[in-house]
């Protein structure tokens, strides 16, 4: 087994693990982490495919590399937005549950915003 | 099997173990720590895949800034562990496991049976490098050949920051993001926050400048600048600026704004949207990158700081 293939298999399992965590873990922050794990696996798959496309004295196909760099930045901003939503939800309701049942101590937000 | 291959297989196994830990561990805080370690080791994988530009980005954003973001959130949500009743039943778990295993197996199969010879755009990118006189093929793709992606990514950053700010409560509208940090003035955090930023700023500018010909660029440099700013904020040496400030908003739109202007200029001069005139390609790209590194640093720092929580006094 060559190095890139090992990384490729690792990436495939990371996608599977992320998907499982995303579905089964009830905590929203854990769901976010699982989703980031899934995304990281997809990026690594790009890297493995790009590594096989090494040519013209470039070690890794630059087009998928550029796509992954863009992807990492976009994933970070989406995660930051999701965490802000989550913190605001916690601030407003005192809980991070995503179910429809309202927690008993709702309207604990002093600011009224 | 040589020593490098053995190292790569061990690295893949450790990364996989951290991935499993991140999903399986009970406490949210431990999962977060596991994910940060995972991100840093994934950066090593990127080095082994000969993609140093991606490795720098992954280490700075995926491991560093992303780690601060997740750890901060985990610390603030510590008391909010959901009750057991919310956990899904055994049927959901089993079907999720089956679905995930199938997905992973399909991807693994795709990796093992990739077509040979592999399709590649590397020769095309290298043969057109003379058009921009930049030697780093990744920077060429980011700033010239697929500049549209990079411009739209700046717009995504802008939309994300608008989304975060719009979560501010009424009394903090336009105010300072995040809590005001206090630290022991003789502590190690304050010491590092005084010592590291001068070095970090020089490193960031070097990584930005060398990105024309070697691994590096505006993303990586901007992420390092942002982390120096965040360090100073977390040590309480400076406060986050009120988000209503005009100069701040100008910095935030400078990158995408200049990119858009140059793009429209390309349309006006004749060739196409985002087409640089060949004689001016390098100065134009450099100008866009200078605006972009400032925008990226400010946006990443403010995304970490979160929604405004304190009004302007």
A96 touches chain B (CB under 8 A): yes
Residue B122 in domain: no
Q: What percent of chain A has pLDDT over 90?
A: 33
Residue B176 in domain: yes
* Structure confidence at residue B159 as a pLDDT band (50, 70, 90): very high
Query: What's the whole-number average pLDDT of chain B?
Result: 85
pLDDT of B203 higher than 50 = yes
Closest chain A C-alpha to B176 CA, distance in angstroms: 15
Closest chain A C-alpha to B288 CA, distance in angstroms: 16
* Structure confidence at residue A38 as a pLDDT band (50, 70, 90): very high
SS3 percent helix, strand, coil of chain B, rounded to 5, is: 70, 0, 25
Q: Is the pTM of this model over 0.90?
A: no
Give the ipTM of the model, two decimals please. Answer: 0.88
One domain for residues B153 and B276: yes
pLDDT digits 0-9 by tens, B250-282: 988 888 888 888 888 878 876 777 777 777 778
What pLDDT score was predicted for residue B313?
65
pLDDT digits 0-9 by tens, B43-100: 999 998 888 888 988 888 877 888 889 988 888 887 766 555 567 788 888 988 999 9
> Domain span at residue B197?
136-313
CATH of A3-93, one of 3.30.930.10, 1.20.210.10, 1.10.287.3510, 3.30.70.60: 1.10.287.3510
Closest chain A residue by Cα to residue B44: A7
What is the four-CA torsion angle of B46, B192, B229, B288, rounded to 10 degrees? Answer: -50
Residues 6+ apart with CB under 8 A from B115: none
Residues 6+ apart with CB under 8 A from B48: A3, A7, B8, B11
What pLDDT score was predicted for residue A109?
45
SS3 B183: coil
Domain segments of chain A as ranges: 3-93
Q: Which residues of B71-100 are buried (b: 16+ CB within 10 A; e: fewer)?
A: ebbbebbeebebeeeeeeeeeeeeebeeeb
A84 touches chain B (CB under 8 A): yes
A104 touches chain B (CB under 8 A): no
Closest chain B C-alpha to A70 CA, distance in angstroms: 7
Is the Cβ pair A12, B170 closer than 8 Å?
A: no
CB contacts, 8 Å: A74 with chain B: 153, 156
Question: Number of CB pairs < 8 Å for A and B?
Answer: 295
- Residue among A47, A79, A97 minimizing CB distance to B66: A79
SS3 B130: helix
Residue A58 phi/psi, 5-degree rounding, is -105, 125
* Structure confidence at residue A113 as a pLDDT band (50, 70, 90): very low
Min mean pLDDT across A49-63, A68-82, B146-160, B293-307 is at A49-63
One domain for residues B193 and B51: no
């Amino acid at each position: 087994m060559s190095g890139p293939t090992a990384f490729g298999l690792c990436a495939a399992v990371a996608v599977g693990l992320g998907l499982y965590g995303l579905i089964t873990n009830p905590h929203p922050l854990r769901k976010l982490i699982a989703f980031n794990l899934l995304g990281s696996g997809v990026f690594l798959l790009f890297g493995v495919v790009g590594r096989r496309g090494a040519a013209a004295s470039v070690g890794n196909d630059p087009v998928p590399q550029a796509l992954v760099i863009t992807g990492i930045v976009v994933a970070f901003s989406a995660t930051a937005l999701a965490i802000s939503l989550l913190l605001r939800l916690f601030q407003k309701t005192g809980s991070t549950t995503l179910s429809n049942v309202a927690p008993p101590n709702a309207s604990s937000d002093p600011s009224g915003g | 099997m040589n020593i490098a291959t053995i190292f790569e297989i061990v690295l893949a196994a450790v990364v996989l173990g951290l991935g499993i830990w991140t999903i399986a561990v009970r406490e949210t805080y431990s999962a977060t720590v596991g994910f940060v370690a995972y991100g840093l080791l994934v950066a090593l994988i990127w080095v082994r895949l000969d993609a140093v530009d991606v490795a720098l980005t992954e280490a700075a954003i995926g491991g560093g800034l992303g780690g601060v973001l997740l750890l901060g959130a985990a610390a603030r949500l510590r008391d909010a562990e959901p009750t057991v009743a919310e956990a899904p039943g055994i049927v959901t778990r089993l079907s999720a496991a089956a679905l995930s295993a199938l997905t992973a197996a399909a991807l693994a199969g795709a990796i093992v049976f990739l077509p040979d010879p592999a399709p590649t755009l590397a020769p095309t990118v290298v043969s057109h490098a003379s058009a921009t006189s930049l030697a780093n093929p990744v920077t060429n793709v980011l700033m010239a050949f697929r500049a549209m992606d990079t411009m739209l990514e700046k717009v995504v950053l802008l939309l994300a920051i608008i989304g975060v700010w719009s979560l501010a409560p009424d009394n903090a509208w336009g105010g300072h993001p995040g809590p005001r940090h206090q630290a022991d003035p003789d502590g190690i955090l304050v010491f590092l926050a005084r010592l590291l930023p001068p070095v970090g700023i020089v490193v960031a500018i070097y990584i930005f400048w060398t990105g024309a010909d070697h691994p590096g660029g505006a993303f990586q440099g901007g992420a390092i600048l942002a982390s120096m700013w965040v360090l100073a904020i977390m040590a309480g040496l400076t406060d986050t600026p009120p988000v209503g400030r005009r100069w701040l908003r100008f910095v935030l739109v400078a990158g995408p704004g200049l990119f858009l202007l140059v793009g429209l200029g390309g349309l006006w001069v004749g060739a196409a949207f985002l087409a640089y005139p060949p004689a001016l390609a390098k100065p134009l790209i450099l100008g866009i990158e200078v605006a972009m590194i400032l925008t990226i640093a400010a946006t990443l720092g403010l995304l970490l700081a979160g929604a405004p929580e304190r009004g302007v006094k």
